[in-house]
């Protein structure tokens, strides 16, 4: 699947079959995050891949539906870096697209994980000075959502507003 195809077909998937994901696929997904644009090339990130079922079961405090994910990637950022939120967001989107290209469903999970940031950081052994930006559950999709998107003509202007 080429990049545009993956961008077009990516949707947030919140139901998975429970099938495991090969390690080399997870490495390719994290590699896509590692290569994201980053302010001043600071790369203030670290990606924790969680495949252990007992740990994933604990992480579901962030969202019950992720229990059957084949893996969860936690994006850990250094908030001392000026563009840590933007950098982290770029890395997350790259990984969602890479997961799609490899045939998996995934979801940007931030709302509830931030609420449980301290508990999740403790579970994963993340140092106090770092931030947990997002969790990305990834798995073989058990649903094919297709939420409405604004049409291109509504969001595109040429030359001026
Ligand atoms: C910053 C951000 C935070 C999000 N947080 C959550 C979340 O906590 N739980 C969730 O189920 N989806 C979350 N999402 C996914 C959005 O709900 C989803 O992208 C949106 O509904 C559009 O659907 P699509 O991703 O299928 O295009 C988040 C997305 C972004 C960009």
Report how far residue 111's alpha carbon sits from residue 71's, in angstroms, rounded to the nearest whole number: 19
Mutate to test the pocket of ligand 1, among 10, 64, 97, 107 (most ligand atoms within 8 A of CB): 107
Decide: pTM greater than 0.75: yes
If you measure from the C-alpha of residue 11 to the centroid of ligand 1, how many angstroms do you get, rounded to a whole number?
A: 9
At 102-135, the pLDDT tens digits run 999 999 998 766 789 999 999 999 999 999 999 9
| Cross-strand bridge partners of residue 49 | 73
Structure tokens at 51: 């495949």
Structure tokens at 6: 């993956």
| Cross-strand bridge partners of residue 76 | 46, 132
Ligand 1 cavity residues, CB under 6 Å: 11-12, 14, 107-112, 145, 147
Q: Name the residue with the closest Cα to ligand 1, atom 6.
A: 109
pLDDT for residue 113: 65
Cα angle 9-11-17, degrees, rounded to a multiple of 5:
105
List alpha helices for the chain, DSSP H: 3-9, 23-34, 53-59, 84-101, 111-115, 117-124, 152-155
């Amino acid at each position: 699947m080429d990049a545009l195809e993956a961008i077009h077909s990516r949707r947030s998937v919140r139901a998975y079959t429970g099938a495991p994901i090969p390690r080399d696929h997870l490495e390719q997904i994290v590699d896509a995050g590692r290569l994201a644009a980053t302010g001043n090339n600071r790369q203030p990130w670290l990606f924790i891949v969680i495949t252990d079922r007992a740990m994933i079961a604990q992480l579901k405090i962030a969202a019950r539906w992720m229990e059957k994910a084949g893996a969860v990637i936690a994006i850990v950022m250094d908030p001392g870096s000026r563009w840590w939120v933007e950098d982290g967001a770029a890395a997350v989107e790259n990984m969602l697209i890479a997961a799609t290209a490899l045939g998996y469903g995934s979801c940007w999970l931030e709302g509830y994980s931030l609420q449980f940031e301290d508990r999740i950081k403790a579970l994963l052994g993340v140092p106090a000075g770092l931030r947990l930006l997002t969790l990305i559950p990834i798995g073989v999709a058990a649903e094919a959502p297709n939420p409405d998107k604004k049409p291109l003509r509504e969001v595109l202007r040429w030359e001026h507003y």
